[in-house]
Structure 1
Amino acid sequence: MRRTWALAPLLGMILVGAALAAGVARAATIDATVTVPLAAQAGDGGRQAAREQALGRIVQRLTGDAARAPAAIAGRVDDYITASALRSEAGGQALTLTFDVPALRESLRRQGVRVWLRERPAVVIWAGVQDGGRSLAGADDPRATALRDAARDYGVPVLLPLLDLTDRQAVTYQDIAGGFSGRVGEATRRYGTSLALAVALQARSGGWNGAWMLVRDGSTLASGRTSGDDVAAVADAVWARAVAQLRPDYTVASGESSAIRVNVTGVNGLAALAAAERALGDSAGVVAVQLSGIEGDRAVFRVEAEVGEDRLRAALDRSSLWAPASPDGGGAEAGLTYRWNARGSGG
């Protein structure tokens, strides 16, 4: 007889385990406030232009794309502003505006604009600097914070590493400059994400050079070189190119939300069940995971996602935690079927 486990006590144990573990996908917060310069003695026309400029920056944070907002939204910019303040700054005045980000996000989707997924992985920034010496730049270094601030303008959630002894033994400037993505990927796992941006900054006469690579699961997704008058210019150029690689996997268009059945085999015990449930929830675009049933070593989950079945399949296929499997008995069965790879999870 095949045993079906009771779900109520089991779910409680799973939730406790999930709460104690670091997740990969997480809710990404978009900064809703923008400050733009205002021309001296600007009239209504000048203030309207400033509002439209601020709208463009918020749209870029929501989409990762510097393209202008659709006319239907740009023409109603005031509908999305929840607060405004005028303040004096060195050299003139500035207008600070706060936007209703959820409402703007939904309006963009209705207009067919691809927006960032609400739940997606953070990117760890590994910044190496050569400026009279070679070192790694941490959260207290303006060159690392320039990379962090540029990421914010593209709507990318990021983490700066601790750069303690563990990090410094795992990654060096030479690893970043040499393009050793495997070492960067291994060090990144410590921070509960698979994504990293590694940038080697090199001071030159009158500016900076930057060699960068975007890493996922220890493999290079994209790489390149750029230069600028200062680190901020290099950071913006790097993120513009890196974001172009991230958008296909981590943005969503209108009509892609769905509820997907995922059948998982190879679930042997509570620890494996908790790990599989957590890994599903960590997948980009997944909003919620509900356990529907268990029979033997097979679990069935109902996954609420911002993406469709094909994109969830692609996300699972990219991970070493999942192996595509055939439905039991080889018959047609709704949803996706995977085998849980306990070795890939480290459990």
Structure 2
Amino acid sequence: MLRSMCRYLMIFALFVSISPLATAAEVNKLDESLVAVESRANNLRSQAIKQAFKDVVLKNTGTETALTHPDVVKQLAKASSLMTQYGYQELDGELFIQVNFDHKRLISLLRQAGLPVWGKQRPLTLMWLVEDIENERSILSDASSSSTREVFNTQSDNRGVPLVFPLMDLDDAMQVGVNDIRGQFTDNVANASLRYQFNYFIMATIAPQGSVFRYQMALYPRERADDASQLTPLINANGEVATVEKAVTAITAAASEYYVSQYAIADSGEKLTTKIAFTDVSHMKQLVEIETYLNQLSAIKTASVARVEGTTVEFNLALFGNEDDLHRLMKLDPRIEVIKSITADDMEYASFEPMAKVEKQIQIYYWKGQ
């Protein structure tokens, strides 16, 4: 079990990069998948390539419905045409095939199909889970060797949903007990969570009920809204399934679907544009980093420098979605700090292009860097 756990942790580490100072995670290698195979037979390789294609579609859209879209189903039949390379490797005595796909062509397929595209920067979720094993209830910890934790690692990778678990050291144990999570005593769990870096937290339970397993979960933001007296769940989900694995899959999928609704962006088909500015940009390296960052965001079609004045740089942006989509996505990134909004009339620039007079508010950001 420990060797198997280490294997999956190693695989998970390939896909997620979490900064100790960040509240979000960057999910990498969205164009590749690792699929278990029984042998190197041609027919098994063909099946594995198709499964890998499904995996990367799911990672890049975050939603199961993408797999049933006619354009995706059509491409599935010729999945190898988007493949760039594949190779076999053995992990803990088990044979896997690693398949890589052309990321630009994959995203182009999803855009043309009108499907949401989920970028690399994703919310980090703190998971408070009570599991019931042989009538003994416990909170799944970061150091747990439970098979449930292994399944969470696998589903986290499959969905591209970064998860962290509480340490359950003395500090945690003094604040949060099994009944706090089972009873959805949100305040206790929210207070205990503040020591961790995360964007959202989940309170969940999985327990046997006769011949099935019953699960329930609630997803909460890190902080309550300014006009709210307490935290309220963003989503709730519950059900009965045949196995613990299916319960974990359902919990992870519910969180993924919510995040897709917030951070994955489909092409609206409209010619939407906006402007944003970054202040305190004093080096060319910063400007290059910012422009590179903007051009890789799933909300942005193109980004280009419009005007510069001193250390303030304004960008012209063409968008896939609307401005709210863009700002919500940027707010997630720990490298960026929101400063204020200001009208164009209040800003004096050296212009790179003719600009019409604009009264619209421009959002100002500060780039903290890598």
TM-score range, shorter chain: 0.5 to 0.7
Paired residue secondary structure (2:233): strand
Structure-1 separation of matches of 2:140 and 2:253: 21
Deviations 1:162-213 (CA, angstroms, capped at 9, x unpaired)? 2222333343322221223344344334332221222112233434221211
Structure-1 separation of matches of 2:316 and 2:194: 25
RMSD: 4.6
Over the matched positions of the two proteins, sequence identity in percent amounts to 17
Match of 1:204 among 209, 215, 224: 209
1:25 corresponds in structure 2 to 24
Under a length normalisation based on structure 1, what TM-score does the superposition of the two structures give?
Answer: 0.66
Paired residue secondary structure (2:195): helix
Residues 212 and 224 of structure 1 are in contact (CA less than 8 Å); yes or no, is this contact kept in structure 2? yes
Residues 25 and 162 of structure 2 are in contact (CA less than 8 Å); yes or no, is this contact kept in structure 1? no
Of stretches 309-318 and 126-135 in structure 1, the one that deviates more from structure 2 is 309-318
Query: Shift of residue 317 of structure 1?
Result: 9.3
Any gaps of 5 or more consecutive residues in structure 2? Answer: 1-18, 224-231, 281-289, 347-356
Instruction: For 1:263-342, list aligned pairs within 5 A.
Output: 308-313=322-327, 327=343, 333-337=359-363
1:236 corresponds in structure 2 to 249
1:133 corresponds in structure 2 to 136
Query: Shift of residue 246 of structure 1?
Result: 1.6
Structure-1 separation of matches of 2:329 and 2:118: 15
Structure-1 separation of matches of 2:42 and 2:331: 55
Which residue type is aligned with residue 73 of structure 1?
Answer: Q
Query: Shift of residue 245 of structure 1?
Result: 1.6
Instruction: For 1:105-124, list aligned pairs within 5 A.
Output: 105-112=106-113, 113-124=115-126
The verdict on how the C-alpha distance between 1:311 and 1:200 changes in structure 2, with shifts beyond 3 A counting, is same
Any gaps of 5 or more consecutive residues in structure 1? Answer: 1-19, 268-276, 341-347
Query: Shift of residue 292 of structure 1?
Result: 6.5
Aligned length: 297
1:223 corresponds in structure 2 to 236
Deviations 1:111-149 (CA, angstroms, capped at 9, x unpaired)? 232121221221122111233333211232322332232
Query: Shift of residue 251 of structure 1?
Result: 0.8
1:161 aligns with 2:174: no
Residues 111 and 117 of structure 2 are in contact (CA less than 8 Å); yes or no, is this contact kept in structure 1? no
1:261 aligns with 2:276: yes
Which residue type is aligned with residue 254 of structure 2?
Answer: R
Residues 150 and 236 of structure 1 are in contact (CA less than 8 Å); yes or no, is this contact kept in structure 2? yes
Under a length normalisation based on structure 2, what TM-score does the superposition of the two structures give?
Answer: 0.63
Paired residue secondary structure (2:126): strand
